[in-house]
Chains A and B, each alone.
Chain A
């Protein structure tokens, strides 16, 4: 039955094209919205994900990496003394002001990295130009991201600017390390950041301790041990803190609702298009469906026929939709608005579109149920 239903569906080219367009549109919208949301929200945890630290230790109720409070630097020793800790790095993440030659300022997120080479964590991991270690060698040096060049007044390698009224020379450019908050990340050393570039930053405080565990250490157990040593602070493994950071922006900004609503609207459009074309194909074939009923087709048989067509449309549309998503996603992705297409989102889009198609089959099913088989003879 289902083969014949699919054959009947494939033969009606015009309606098939309309249906596929609707489904493809929905699948693309769900995948791109999902991919954009993932891309954006993963930026919220980018510093954590690529920090090379196994554990993040910060102030109480820390919930996102970009807006951390300060903690006493001296507690570092308490953390370093915990069994299983290989290295501890101090890390500073604070807002500051980047001054352009024309006098106007741009808010930036200063990232201060520990200059101790034995415990280097959290410094840039991908470079478009220059050496990430240059900030530890060259005085007044900073790293900005190549994607933020325009935002920071088209500055180039070697250019000198002011941050917090202090001289800052660009000695390297990172690639794609852009923040969720849209304020550019500016990397420098911890000491330089708090003494020169951030007004009022206490010299004996930082935002986080980044902890590297010894190989083979049980991370959750180490988290618990560190917590007992510094009960005044929050301690999370890397994945947990990354998730917390993403959840913070998802829940506080409503970005999830915004993207979800767009995807939902896409699904609604798909539902309308598929329901309309399926309904139209049924209303044009009332006599034929009536004939089937006269010949003894029961409601279950009719439902199987329609469900086969609905699922067939969904399957075809899902394939074209996912292919189109890959093409469009690849074309529009950028470091500022990355589109991360995952099989999980693709799977969700396929499941949703199958449900939408099944839902849209209900209206024509209801219409066929109402057909009186005697009407075929009366006609």
Chain B
């Protein structure tokens, strides 16, 4: 029990199906996963394997049909929708594939909006947002709107937004899918550095094998089941943004899930 609570994320035997009657199709079939504080876990697998559904359940956006999901020691499967919303607001951060920034707000205001949503005063929100934009290296672009920013810059704003209110967990859904290799690696390098500095647990869904080196663990799903777990080699340094996928793959060894 104590060991379970030491984890920020514990999911056991999670099942989820969509549709009804004879059209009901299972997406997750007894998935179990856990993550410790400050750990970076990647969820990989082919399309339709259930990665995003699992991320939605772990991120308290969706509830499982059965199984248990504990986030920060709380059983989220029993929470009401309003409680889930409040829990996400108070404890979780999200990063999305297409950034999803408000196009009519500047980079600074996009980060401020997240803080204002959580009840921060505009002054506090601006100070905190400025500090975060400085940390992600685009403070000089704070007044630019998303349409005036590159993809990499937008995702840096999204990183700042996700970390704005010091969440305990950050969930990233294909964070590099809209970026080129160089920007993808740079953003992941930044994100993993920031979450490690803060002791934040990071769960990333990705198809992009070039960023696997940034993970502490890589979990592979297929047909709604966890089939493999990769652990990066500790002796290998993290690749530079220019390192090729082949070089990165050498840094892992593959282990079957127990």
Contacts and interface: CB of A to CB of B under 8 A. Distances in A.
Given A288-B100, A294-B88, A295-B117, A7 B94 contact: no
A373 interface: yes
A379 to B, nearest CB: 7
Contacts, number: 82
A9 B122 CA distance: 17
B92 A296 contact: yes
Nearest to B89: A296
Contacts of B161: 295
Contact of B85 (A12, A287, A296, A378): A296
A296 B56 contact: no
Interface residues of A, number: 27
B117 A292 contact: yes
Interface residues of B, number: 36
Contacts of B82: 298
A303 B73 CA distance: 31
A298 B100 contact: no
B190 interface: no
B116 A293 contact: no
Interface string B95-128: 0111011111100010011101110001000000
Contact of A298 (B59, B85, B109): B85
A11 B104 contact: yes
A374 B56 contact: yes
Q: Is the interface of A mostly helix, strand, loop or mixed?
A: helix
Given A4-B113, A4-B116, A374-B56, A293 B62 contact: no
A11 B145 contact: yes
Contact of B96 (A11, A301, A377): A377
Interface string A335-379: 000000000000000000000000000000000000001101111
A298 B96 contact: no
B51 to A, nearest CB: 10
A3 interface: yes
B96 A374 contact: no
A8 B173 contact: no
A333 B112 CA distance: 49
B181 interface: no
Interface in B112-150: 112-114, 116-118, 122, 145
A286 to B, nearest CB: 10
Given A288-B102, A291-B100, A377-B52, A296 B145 contact: no
A160 to B, nearest CB: 73
B55 A377 contact: yes
B116 A1 contact: yes
A316 interface: no
Given A295-B94, A297-B117, A377-B55, A4 B109 contact: yes
A366 B93 CA distance: 25
Contact of A374 (B62, B93, B97, B102): B62
Contacts of B112: 4
B86 interface: yes
Interface in B21-64: 52, 55-56, 59, 61-62
Contacts of B94: 291, 294-295
Contacts of A374: 56, 61-62
A376 B100 contact: yes
A285 B103 CA distance: 9
Interface string A244-270: 000000000000000000000000000
A27 B85 CA distance: 40
A7 B105 contact: yes
A296 B113 CA distance: 12
A377 B117 CA distance: 20
B52 A378 contact: yes
B86 A296 contact: yes
Given A3-B122, A288-B101, A379-B98, A295 B114 contact: yes
B182 interface: no
Contacts of B92: 295-296
B101 A296 contact: no
Interface string A280-317: 00000101101111111110010000000000000000
Given A1-B117, A12-B104, A373-B61, A297 B52 contact: no
B109 A7 contact: yes
Nearest to A10: B104
Contacts of B52: 377-378
B116 A11 contact: no
Contacts of A296: 85-90, 92, 117-118
Nearest to B120: A1
Contacts of A285: 102-103
Contacts of A292: 113, 117
Interface string B151-177: 000000000010000000000010000
B105 A11 contact: yes
30 contacts: A4-B113, A4-B116, A7-B109, A11-B105, A288-B101, A290-B100, A291-B100, A293-B85, A294-B88, A294-B94, A295-B92, A295-B93, A295-B114, A296-B85, A296-B86, A296-B89, A296-B117, A296-B118, A298-B82, A298-B85, A298-B86, A298-B89, A301-B117, A373-B61, A374-B56, A374-B61, A374-B62, A376-B96, A377-B55, A378-B52
Given A295-B92, A296-B118, 7 more contacts: A11-B145, A296-B92, A298-B86, A374-B56, A376-B96, A377-B59, A379-B97
Q: Top 10 closest A-B pairs, CB basis?
A: A296-B89, A11-B104, A291-B100, A296-B88, A1-B116, A8-B104, A374-B56, A374-B61, A12-B104, A298-B85
